[in-house]
Structure 1
Amino acid sequence: MRKTTAVASVLGFTALALAGCASAPATAESCGREAVTGPAIDAIEVSGEFGPDLTVDAPAGFTAAGAAHSDIVPGDGRVIESLGQGVALDLLFVDPATGATVPMWGEPGSLTRIVTPSVVSEQMLPGIDDALLCASEGTRMVATFGDDGVVPEFGAQVQQVLQQVAVQQGNDGAETPDLSSIVAVIDVNRVLPASAEGSLVYNADSGMPRVVRDANGVPGVTIPAGSAPAEQETQTLIAGDGAEIAEGELLTLQYTNVRWSSGSVANSTWQSDSPETATLEELPEGFAEALEGATIGSQILTVVPDGDGDATVSVIDVLGAVPAAE
């Protein structure tokens, strides 16, 4: 056995239906959470707070045949039901042979560093899908990805940095670890809903665009005939049951912007798989006015004229908020 301790090293990585009514929250079990384990990964022990005090106790000569995961501490918060949901997590790579450890990101415990599992999977770790799907907020897990569960270029970077860290710690003869011997410790710090959650709000026909949502809550917009309004107009489509947005909070949003004149999507966080986290002042024009008095979980429709006869139609899902200073 070799006990390894985290160090302060950072690896720089770079058919439509109305939806929105709240349903019973999923649990890890109802979602289908199952461990994919083996004798080697079951023998790993992890303790301490994420960061310099985190310790990993793994068998000497540890190796894993492929992707596997085991929950060390099951969470009891919101469940990751879709790989497109926004999550805040910490991930630490460990080479049990040398004790070298490297976090994927700095600042452990961040609630505003929001990523989607689908982006992490596509760009870095295809093997992370099963580890994160149906995991609950508050879960700590240990995972392996093997050779096939890592994007080759990313894997080579992880191997290189782990070897460099081992040398810096005084292990002059440290070799580059095989991908099959690298362990990952993952803390799921925050799980956001995939889309707006709350009660549908009836709006009388007033010449505003029509919004429909697919089964995943992704909005589609139909522009009515006629000219764009001369002043900003806003409607609440789904009333969230969370707290009212407070000044200075960091909001996490999904939104789609559509041009009134063409009906085409100008930009969309749904398309990029990257919910945006920012203060009201940092968001696109008209968002601060549209979200005044809105509650967490709401979906807001707003039309912002550009002064030249055209306008931007925005559908905004308010997924969550935390104080700007965590």
Structure 2
Amino acid sequence: MRKTTAVASVIGMSALALVGCSSAAVTPESCGRVANTSPTLLSAFEVSDQVGTPPTASFPKPFVAASPEHMDVVTGSGAVIESLDQAVYFDLTLFDGVTGVAVPFTGYTDEDWRVSNLGALIAEVPGLEDAFLCASEGSRVVAALGAEGGSEALSMSAMQATGQLIDPAHTIAVVDINRVLPASADGSPVYNAGHGMPSVIRTPAGVPGVTVPRGAAPSETRTQTLLKGDGDELGADEVFIGQILTVQWDTGRVVSSTWADEALQVSPVENLPEDVRGAVIGATAGSQVMTVVPDADHGALVYVIDILGTSDMPAM
């Protein structure tokens, strides 16, 4: 009888478990949301409360904040941002705390929302971290960036957009959180009868691990849908939002992982590796897809791809 030992690949976890029953829905409060971190300073900032429309604001000038602060103007009832591993569609306007001039970054239509990997956005604008974390879809949040809450990249973006420089200590952001994407694929399981293919198991948080069967890799590319989402199909000319795990067939070694790097990928489909691009075009948001791509040395790379969202909007 042939042995069927396998090599398991684990992403930053000591053990893997199949996803089980769901827990209670997360709310901003249960997530640890603090609705107002500065009851004295930002309370003097008055802003319109119509989420999805360009904000108008009045406040004493000059406005200055030494450290980041935020205040929830409207609390939405949608999904909650539980970690920086998620992506968010949002609108953003910055206000100059000295002149009161508004610096809009988006056009406030569903065709002009920005979509961002939150980890990447916070790296560019660290003063917005507490404003986003544990906030809910449908919210409008006011945030003072604080002296260290901006970056050179943000200043350059503002200069390109409006011709104005930004001093973070005098900058107030108004953020509308239009849509919150999940951190992992949430589609329905799909039965696959194919033999000789790797198996994928997931932690309760949705992080995948790959078990590679002993034996030769497939001689041609094979792709399976593991979870079938009910979102929009990803088009070739759109923006891919998701997670990608790459494992070497022969060793089970992780070659790359957006999960381990905490670097959720938000990029045009055309910029994805060719092997990944072929697997995700036409797949639906919420799906998890596995594709095995043979190489010239009779080995293969195994890609596990979570398609969390699609967009024809610009990334930020």
TM range (shorter): 0.7 to 0.9
Distance in 2, Cα, partners of 1:289 & 1:192: 23
Whether the 8 Å CA contact 1:46–1:55 is kept in 2: the answer is yes
Whether the 8 Å CA contact 2:53–2:108 is kept in 1: the answer is no
Question: Alpha carbons of 1:161 and 1:289: their partners in 2 closer, same or farther (altered >3 Å)?
Answer: closer
Aligned to 2:305: 316
Aligned to 1:64: 65
Aligned positions of 1:1-326 closer than 5 A: 15=14, 16-19=16-19, 23-35=23-35, 36-47=37-48, 54-103=55-104, 105=105, 109=109, 113-125=114-126, 127-150=127-150, 153=152, 165=164, 179-201=168-190, 203=192, 206-240=195-229, 242-243=230-231, 245=233, 250=238, 251-270=240-259, 271=261, 273-279=263-269, 283-287=272-276, 290-291=279-280, 294-306=283-295, 308-322=297-311
Q: CA deviation at 1:256?
A: 1.5
Q: CA deviation at 1:274?
A: 3.1
Distance in 2, Cα, partners of 1:89 & 1:52: 12
Q: What residue identity is the alignment partner of 2:139?
A: T
Q: CA deviation at 1:286?
A: 4.3
Q: CA deviation at 1:51?
A: 10
TM-score, length basis structure 2:
0.76
Q: What residue identity is the alignment partner of 1:273?
A: A
Whether the 8 Å CA contact 1:20–1:217 is kept in 2: the answer is no
Distance in 2, Cα, partners of 1:161 & 1:283: 27
Whether the 8 Å CA contact 1:297–1:317 is kept in 2: the answer is yes
Whether the 8 Å CA contact 1:245–1:292 is kept in 2: the answer is yes
Q: Give the SS at the match of 1:122.
A: helix
Distance in 1, Cα, partners of 2:113 & 2:106: 12
Q: CA deviation at 1:108?
A: 5.2
Q: What residue identity is the alignment partner of 1:245?
A: E
User: Unaligned stretches of 5+ in structure 1?
Assistant: 1-14, 167-175
Question: Alpha carbons of 1:255 and 1:226: their partners in 2 closer, same or farther (altered >3 Å)?
Answer: same
Q: CA deviation at 1:317?
A: 0.8
Q: CA deviation at 1:229?
A: 0.2
Q: CA deviation at 1:150?
A: 4.1
Q: Give the SS at the match of 2:213.
A: coil
Query: Greater shift after overlay, 200-209 or 157-166?
Result: 157-166
Deviation readout 1:112-136 (Å, 9 max, x if unpaired): 74323222333431x3222111111
Q: Give the SS at the match of 2:115.
A: coil
Q: What residue identity is the alignment partner of 2:195?
A: S
Q: CA deviation at 1:56?
A: 1.8
Q: Over aligned residues, Cα RMSD in angstroms?
A: 3.8
Distance in 2, Cα, partners of 1:246 & 1:181: 40
Q: CA deviation at 1:211?
A: 2.3
TM-score, length basis structure 1:
0.74
Query: Percent sequence identity over matched residues?
Result: 44
Whether the 8 Å CA contact 1:230–1:305 is kept in 2: the answer is yes
Q: Give the SS at the match of 1:223.
A: strand
Deviation readout 1:51-98 (Å, 9 max, x if unpaired): 995422112333335221112222222211111111122333222321
Q: Give the SS at the match of 1:39.
A: coil
Distance in 2, Cα, partners of 1:246 & 1:97: 43
Aligned to 2:7: none
**Aligned pair count?**
296
Whether the 8 Å CA contact 1:235–1:302 is kept in 2: the answer is yes
Whether the 8 Å CA contact 1:305–1:311 is kept in 2: the answer is yes
Question: Alpha carbons of 1:233 and 1:157: their partners in 2 closer, same or farther (altered >3 Å)?
Answer: closer
Deviation readout 1:160-196 (Å, 9 max, x if unpaired): 9999738xxxxxxxxx85x433211112222110001
